[in-house]
Amino acid sequence: MGSTSNGLPFFAFLDEHGKLMANSNRPVPGKPQGANIGHPIEPEEVDHFMNMLKKVTPPLSPSEAKLIENYLRNQKR
């Protein structure tokens, strides 16, 4: 699912059979396991999180997705 040094939070979405659908390790060149996005705040982390949601929640409406994305992109650091 991930590596031993992912950090927290770490997200993993499984299907009804326990098969991994998506996790919070975003692809990073030179890192085979990728890099954990943790709580998504950077633009590339939010992008990965939104792609995860689109993959694992087909009933998520475009307006619901935009609400989540806008919240993440506008959070205070």
pLDDT for the residue numbered 8? 87
DSSP helix/strand/coil, 26: strand
Mean pLDDT over 16-21 rounds to 96
- pTM attached to this predicted model: 0.85
CB count in 10 Å sphere of residue 3: 14
Q: pLDDT digit string (tens) for 31-55?
A: 988 999 999 999 999 999 999 999 9
Residue 66 lies in a domain: yes
State which H helix or E strand residue 14 sits in.
strand 12-14
Tally of domains in the chain: 1
Question: 54 near 41, Cβ under 8 Å?
Answer: no
Question: 62 near 55, Cβ under 8 Å?
Answer: no
Domain that holds residue 43: 12-73
CA pair distance 13, 66, nearest whole angstrom: 20
Residue 46 lies in a domain: yes
